[in-house]
Structure formats: structure tokens, C-alpha cells
């Protein structure tokens, strides 16, 4: 991969981020709603300050957030802010910044979604590869079938089932939360195990809901690859079945799957947001959910922007790393 290509891809990433930022900037402004007025309007109704006082408060806050400036200046501030990783402040948890909210939530989300996506990728592709390999034992090949059946079921629905049967009925695992009530987070093994117990059900829901897709696509790919001339020639060379499976069959069948990985993580976010909410996990999904409920615009758009950037970055990374596994792409 040439330096030129790397720079090209990085520029592309900047354009994606800029486009996403511009969209998240303009959408709330087009809607003509004034979040500050709404917020203090609510407070005025319950908290009882006079309309005059309300106007003063709104004005001073508008000034504070720069909403009194002309649009282009606001836009410049906003884009400048993003360049400095400043996504603004939460209107509801002021003075907490959006970035702070995201930072607090991100370990939970990363832990759940990334680990689930990776596990799903590994399990699904292994099962799919074996299912298509004619020399694998029959029982091993058939393990894949039930996973394909799960494919039609949305992870969220699986989560509800798991919650009901495993957590509610059997009481085998906790019903929700990031860790047990009363536990104080520290670096102890006990704490981590407790967290793991709480992550198990949501992770299972996400994995089971997505593994079938990998199985199916990998099995299809495997059927194609095993008929390739280079696999047959490898047999003519007298290589062991395992070597052929690993170096000739799996390596080639995996190539398109790797491209799908970034995309899968994007899809995982969609399910993950609802599942975090369902299990009461303090991740990005929950931050987003609360922000939507409270009309906390800056947080909503900050989170959306963050997710967009994260996935775009991941895709560019996969694209930049892809030549490492496929020499034909190198120059």
C-alpha cells in the first residue's frame, strides 16, 4: 500500500466526519425548536419563575451556547469544536460535556459490542468453514445448522427471551445492571467477575442473533473455495488435511468476511443500543436513549456523530489493513 493511498483514505475519513458533522449541525437548526426554551419552559411550569425571568435566563444561556450568533459563525464554532474534540455540553446534565458522557459510557459499549462482534465473527466463521468442509466429521459439520435458524430472530427478541427464562425464571443470571447493587467498582477480580456475569446475557443475545449470518456467508464462501484448483492441487502435493484447511481453504474464504467485519460492527451498534437499554447497562446506547427521551439535542447529535466517526474510522482501518492479508491488493 502506497503512502498516497493511505493519505487518500485519511482524507476520505476527514470528509466523512465533516459531512456527518454538518448534518448533525443543521438538522436541529432546521427543526426550529429551541431546546433551551423548551428546557426552561418546563422548569418554569414546575419551578415557578416569571415569564420575564424566563426570557432573561433563555437569553443568557443562548449567549452562553452561542445561539445568538449568526448561523455561519455557529457553524464555524461547531466544526472548530469538533476538531478540538469538543462536542458541546449536555443541556440536562449541565455542566457535563457530551464528550464526558461518551467517555464514561464507552468502556461499557466497547466491552459488550466489540467483544460480541469478535466472538460472533470467530464462532460463525469457524462453524461455517467447517460446515462446508467435506472432510470434517459429520457431527462437527452439523453444529452450524441450529445457528442458522437463529438468524431470523432479532437480537432484541432473543434478549427478551433470555431475560425471561434465564434471569427471571431460572434466576441463573442477573436481570440487569452493569454490576450488582452495593458493589463498589474497583480493580479486583471479584468486581470483574461480577461485571462479566452481568454482561453474559446481553452478549449471548447479540452473539446468537448475529452468528447465523456469518455461518451462512462463510459456508457459501467455503463451498466455492473448496472447488478451487489451488485446493485440489494442494491435495495433489500430499499436504495434510489440516494444512490445506488452514492455508488454502480458510485463508481464502475469510478474505471477503473480513471486509464484512466493520459493517457487522455497525449493525451491532443498532441492536446494542436497544439491548443496553433493556439490560440497564450504562453504555452509549443508554446515553443516547436518555438524551432522546429528554430532548437533549447536543448529546443526541454528539453521540450520533461519535458513532458515525467510529464506524467510518474502523472501515478505513480495515481497508488500510486489508492488503496485509491479500497480497493482490498491494502495489
- Nearer to other proteins (CB atom), residue 123 or residue 250: 250
Q: List residues near other proteins by CB under 8 A.
A: 134, 228-230, 232-240, 243, 247-248, 251-252, 255, 325-328
Beta bridge partners of 188: none
Q: How far is the CB of 229 from other proteins (least distance, A)?
A: 4
- Nearer to other proteins (CB atom), residue 140 or residue 172: 140
Our CA angle for 319, 123, 244, nearest 5°, is 75
Q: How far is the CB of 326 from other proteins (least distance, A)?
A: 6
DSSP per-residue codes, 227-238: TSHHHHHHHHTT
Cell 494444512 identifies what position? 243
Q: What is the dihedral of CA 150, 278, 297, 103, to 10 degrees?
A: -90
Beta bridge partners of 89: 97
Q: How far is the CB of 263 from other proteins (least distance, A)?
A: 22
Q: How far is the CB of 233 from other proteins (least distance, A)?
A: 4
Q: How far is the CB of 327 from other proteins (least distance, A)?
A: 5
Q: How far is the CB of 217 from other proteins (least distance, A)?
A: 19
Residue 217, sorted as left (phi over 0), alpha (psi -120 to 50) or beta, turns out to be alpha
- What the block records as the C-alpha cell of 183 is 458493589
Distance CA(71)–CA(79), nearest Å, equals 12
DSSP per-residue codes, 258-287: HHHHHHHHHHHHHHHHHHHHHTT--SHHHH
- Nearer to other proteins (CB atom), residue 29 or residue 246: 246
- Nearer to other proteins (CB atom), residue 38 or residue 228: 228
Distance CA(163)–CA(161), nearest Å, equals 5
Distance CA(92)–CA(96), nearest Å, equals 9
Q: How far is the CB of 236 from other proteins (least distance, A)?
A: 4
- Nearer to other proteins (CB atom), residue 221 or residue 291: 221
Q: How far is the CB of 129 from other proteins (least distance, A)?
A: 15
- Nearer to other proteins (CB atom), residue 252 or residue 290: 252
- Nearer to other proteins (CB atom), residue 211 or residue 225: 225
DSSP state of 327: G
Backbone angles phi, psi at 247, to 5 degrees: -90, -30
Q: How far is the CB of 248 from other proteins (least distance, A)?
A: 5
- Nearer to other proteins (CB atom), residue 68 or residue 247: 247
Contacts (Cβ under 8 Å, ≥6 apart) of 71: 29
Distance CA(320)–CA(156), nearest Å, equals 33
- Nearer to other proteins (CB atom), residue 81 or residue 260: 260
Contacts (Cβ under 8 Å, ≥6 apart) of 62: 36, 68
Amino acid at each position: 500500500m502506497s503512502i498516497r493511498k493511505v493519505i487518500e483514505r485519511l482524507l476520505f475519513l476527514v470528509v466523512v466526519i465533516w459531512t456527518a458533522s454538518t448534518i448533525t449541525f443543521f438538522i436541529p437548526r432546521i427543526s426550529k425548536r429551541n431546546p433551551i426554551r423548551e428546557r426552561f419552559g418546563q422548569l418554569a411550569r414546575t419551578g415557578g419563575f416569571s415569564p420575564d425571568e424566563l426570557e432573561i435566563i433563555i437569553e443568557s444561556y443562548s449567549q452562553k451556547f452561542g445561539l445568538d450568533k449568526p448561523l455561519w459563525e455557529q457553524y464555524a464554532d461547531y466544526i472548530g469544536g469538533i476538531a478540538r474534540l469538543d462536542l458541546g455540553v449536555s443541556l440536562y446534565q449541565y455542566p457535563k460535556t457530551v464528550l464526558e458522557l461518551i467517555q464514561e459510557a464507552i468502556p461499557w459499549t466497547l466491552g459488550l459490542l466489540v467483544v460480541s462482534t469478535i466472538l460472533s465473527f470467530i464462532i460463525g466463521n469457524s462453524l461455517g468453514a467447517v460446515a462446508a468442509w467435506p472432510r470434517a466429521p459429520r457431527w462437527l459439520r452439523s453444529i452450524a445448522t441450529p445457528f442458522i435458524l437463529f438468524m431470523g430472530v432479532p437480537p432484541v427478541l432473543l434478549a427478551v427471551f433470555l431475560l425471561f427464562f434465564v434471569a427471571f425464571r431460572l434466576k441463573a443470571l442477573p436481570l440487569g445492571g452493569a454490576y450488582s447493587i452495593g458493589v463498589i467498582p474497583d480493580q479486583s477480580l471479584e468486581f470483574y467477575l461480577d461485571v462479566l456475569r452481568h454482561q453474559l446475557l446481553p452478549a449471548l443475545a447479540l452473539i446468537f442473533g448475529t452468528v447465523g449470518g456469518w455461518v451462512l456467508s462463510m459456508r457459501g464462501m467455503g463451498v466455492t473455495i473448496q472447488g478451487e484448483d489451488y485446493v485440489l492441487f494442494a491435495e495433489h502435493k500430499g499436504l495434510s488435511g489440516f494444512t490445506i484447511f488452514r492455508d488454502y481453504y480458510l485463508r481464502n474464504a475469510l478474505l471477503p468476511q473480513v471486509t464484512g467485519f466493520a459493517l457487522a460492527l455497525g449493525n451491532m451498534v443498532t441492536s446494542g443500543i436497544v439491548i443496553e437499554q433493556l439490560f440497564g447497562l450504562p453504555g452509549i446506547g443508554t446515553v443516547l436513549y436518555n438524551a432522546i427521551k429528554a430532548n437533549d439535542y447536543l448529546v443526541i447529535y454528539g453521540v450520533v456523530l461519535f458513532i458515525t466517526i467510529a464506524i467510518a474510522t474502523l472501515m478505513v482501518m480495515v481497508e488500510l489493513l486489508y492488503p496485509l492479508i491479500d497480497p493482490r491488493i498491494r502495489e
